[in-house]
Amino acid sequence: MSDSRFPIPESRPLRIAVLASGRGSNLQALIDAIAGGRLDARIVGVFSDRSGALALQRANAAGIPAQAILPRAFANRLAFDEEFFSRVDAAGPDVIVCAGYMRLISEHAVDAHRGRLVNIHPSLLPAFKGLHTHAQALEAGVAEHGASVHYVTPDLDGGPVIAQVRVPVQPGDDAESLARRVLAREHPLLVETLSLFAARRLALRDDRVQLDGVALSTPLQLAANQPFA
């Protein structure tokens, strides 16, 4: 399926909407990168399914419009997503970033935003989908763990992977220590990936990630403290 119906206009800073259910440290990384001139973008809205999400406070502190839309007010997922995404769309984002957004998104909403909806997931996808990824990685005994940014498709954590960062598992790691080190690398991964969107270098076409019009054969890999080549 072609996703060229969403060409991102070149004429202005990338407009980003962030969906977040909790802590919002990835949101903060984007806020800081924009403020520091490292990401040519504007966060046009933060949207949460939880009124107590720290992400909403971070948005308020940065002067970014933020709102919580609570699922319990809706009859079902479809009705919730219809209202939720109509508010997201009203902000006019070029890219919608799920950064710790903990709700499943209906297929209808995913399809309506295909090619513009991305998620950051704390594992080297396709390994360790779903929750408790750090515990899953330790349980499996892998030497390397990490994080991925991928396009969202109806297949949970299964959409085309744009970019990854690898984090070695250390002797004595528990889920918390591993999560801490992965999270520290998620932040530059997300910023760098969005920089590629901001430079209009990324597209999703025929279910493949394209960089500068060429399909990637493997996800981009973020090296330590290096931007993508």
How far, CA to CA in Å, does 225 sit from each of 35, 43, 85, 158, 192? 19, 24, 34, 27, 10
What are residue 74's phi and psi, to 5 degrees?
Answer: -120, 150
What are residue 159's phi and psi, to 5 degrees?
Answer: -75, 165
Between 46 and 99, CB nearer to ligand GRF:
99
| Least distance CB 12 / ligand GRF (angstroms) | 26
Q: Largest Cα–Cα distance of the chain, in whole Å?
A: 50
Q: Which of 121, 145, 150, 187 is catalytic?
A: 121
Between 23 and 200, CB nearer to ligand GRF:
23
| Least distance CB 153 / ligand GRF (angstroms) | 16
* End-to-end CA separation in angstroms for the chain: 28
Between 14 and 125, CB nearer to ligand GRF:
125
| Least distance CB 146 / ligand GRF (angstroms) | 10
Residue 24 identity: G
Structure tokens at 206: 């025929």
Residue whose CB is nearest to ligand GRF in the complex, by number: 100
Structure tokens at 118: 């991305």
According to DSSP, the β-strands at 208-211 and 14-19 are unpaired
Question: Residue 71, preceding bond cis, omega within 30 degrees?
Answer: no
What are residue 82's phi and psi, to 5 degrees?
Answer: -60, -45
Between 75 and 193, CB nearer to ligand GRF:
193
Between 154 and 205, CB nearer to ligand GRF:
154
| Least distance CB 184 / ligand GRF (angstroms) | 11
Interface contacts to ligand GRF, rule CB under 6 A:
20, 22-26, 99-100, 120-122, 147, 183, 186
| Least distance CB 22 / ligand GRF (angstroms) | 5
134 assigned to active site? no
Q: Which residues are catalytic?
A: 121
